[in-house]
């Protein structure tokens, strides 16, 4: 990305960064500082278990106005959602730093938890989202039909949500948009082997529902030049992802920066920062 583009590509918000992940333990503050310097002014730290949700909240307390958290249990960990953990999540969801319930949903690709347990955990967390009045941060892989059916049951009680790390096809996208969800686009779109269909599909996402995320430390964009020494992804690469999305949509970079930042602030009710 040209220097010129990176200054036109701010501010940005990374709506999905697993910053509590241990791959950041050695240099987390430097990762945050690099992101801020690149114009990524706010980041939502993904909670995917009780422990990582607590860690996300604690990070958010250390960086008020810049970091925010989600609180939830990923479908991989669905069997961990006991009554006690659910009660804890209910408390965590009330914390002011928590801007969404999740990540939650269904993952039949890896099947680390049985389908029935995943479905139960998803129902419970959608109920929690309804109670808390906060939006949901959704994960779905190879489970589209069950996922949509469960979401429809709870749809009316939920204050919006995002289908995070969208990698699906046109029909999947249409059903999410019909349900009123926002769509999270990651560096998957930069992957010429498996993500090039997204270059077409991002044009169909209304600007007020298109959100950007790195999903770091996962999904390092494959087309970075020069190739970073580490395979670890981090929010400093969000402007690169944004540039690819803007080009695919035929939009000036600043237009996408403005609309995606506005969309993130509206959905997650984030405050404005001095960096605007």
**Cβ neighbours of residue 95 closer than 8 Å, sequence gap 6 or more:** 57, 69, 71
Minimum CB–partner distance for residue 165 and Zn ion (Å): 5
Nearer to Zn ion, 21 or 139 (CB): 139
Question: Measured from the CB of residue 10, what is the shortest distance to Zn ion in angstroms?
Answer: 26
Between 77 and 249, whose beta carbon lies closer to Zn ion?
77
Place of tokens 């701010």: 10
Assign 3-class secondary structure to 164-206. CCCCCCHHHHHHHHHCCCEEEECHHHHCCCCCCHHHHHHHHCC
* Of the candidates 13, 114, 1, 93, the residue with the CA atom closest to the CA atom of residue 47: 93
Given the complex with Zn ion, which of 109 and 157 has the nearer CB atom? 109
State how far the Cα of 138 lies from the Cα of 140, in Å rounded to an integer: 7
Measured from the CB of residue 137, what is the shortest distance to Zn ion in angstroms? 8
Task: Establish if 124 lies at the interface with Zn ion (CB under 5 A).
Answer: no
From the CB of 149, what's the least distance to Zn ion, in Å? 20
Region of 19-27, 85-93, 134-142, 237-245 interacting with Zn ion (CB under 5 A): 134-142
Cβ distance to Zn ion smaller for residue 147 or 246: 147
User: What does the per-residue mask of binding to Zn ion show for 135-164, with x meaning CB under 5 A?
Assistant: ----x-------------------------
- Picking from 182, 191, 208, 188, the residue whose alpha carbon sits closest to that of residue 262 is 208
Nearest approach, Cβ of residue 111 and Zn ion (Å): 15
Residue placing its CB nearer to Zn ion in the complex, 139 or 240? 139
- In the complex, least distance from residue 154 CB atom to Zn ion, rounded to whole angstroms: 19
Query: Phi/psi of residue 252, each to 5°?
Result: -65, 145
Positive or negative, the Cα torsion across 37, 231, 199, 210?
A: negative
Residue of 90, 58, 95 whose CA lies nearest to 72 = 90
Q: How far is CA 112 from the centre of its chain?
A: 21
Q: How many residues line the site for Zn ion (CB under 5 A)? A: 1
Residues of this chain that bind Zn ion (CB under 5 A): 139
């Amino acid at each position: 990305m040209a220097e010129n583009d990176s200054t036109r590509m701010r501010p940005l918000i990374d709506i999905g960064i697993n910053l509590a992940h241990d791959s950041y333990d050695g240099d987390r503050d430097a990762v945050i500082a690099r992101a801020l310097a690149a114009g990524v002014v706010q980041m939502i730290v993904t909670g995917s278990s009780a422990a990582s949700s607590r860690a996300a909240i604690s990070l958010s307390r250390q960086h008020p106005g810049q970091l925010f958290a989600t609180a939830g249990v990923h479908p991989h960990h669905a069997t961990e959602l006991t009554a006690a953990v659910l009660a804890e999540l209910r408390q965590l969801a009330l914390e002011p730093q928590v801007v969404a319930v999740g990540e939650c949903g269904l993952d039949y690709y890896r099947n680390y938890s049985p389908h029935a347990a995943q479905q139960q955990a998803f129902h419970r967390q959608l109920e929690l989202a309804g109670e808390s009045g906060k939006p949901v941060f959704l994960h779905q892989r190879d489970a589209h039909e069950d996922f949509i059916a469960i979401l429809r049951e709870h749809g009316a009680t939920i204050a919006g949500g995002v289908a995070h790390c969208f990698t699906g096809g046109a029909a999947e996208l249409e059903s999410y948009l019909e349900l009123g969800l926002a769509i999270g686009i990651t560096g998957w779109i930069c992957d010429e082997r498996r993500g090039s269909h997204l270059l077409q599909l991002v044009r169909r996402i209304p600007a007020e529902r298109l959100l950007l995320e790195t999903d770091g430390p996962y999904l390092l964009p494959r087309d970075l030049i020069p190739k970073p020494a580490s395979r670890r992804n981090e929010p400093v690469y969000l402007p690169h992802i944004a540039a690819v999305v803007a080009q695919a949509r035929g939009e000036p970079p600043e237009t996408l920066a403005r609309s995606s930042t506005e969309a993130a602030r509206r959905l997650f009710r984030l405050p404005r920062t001095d960096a605007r």
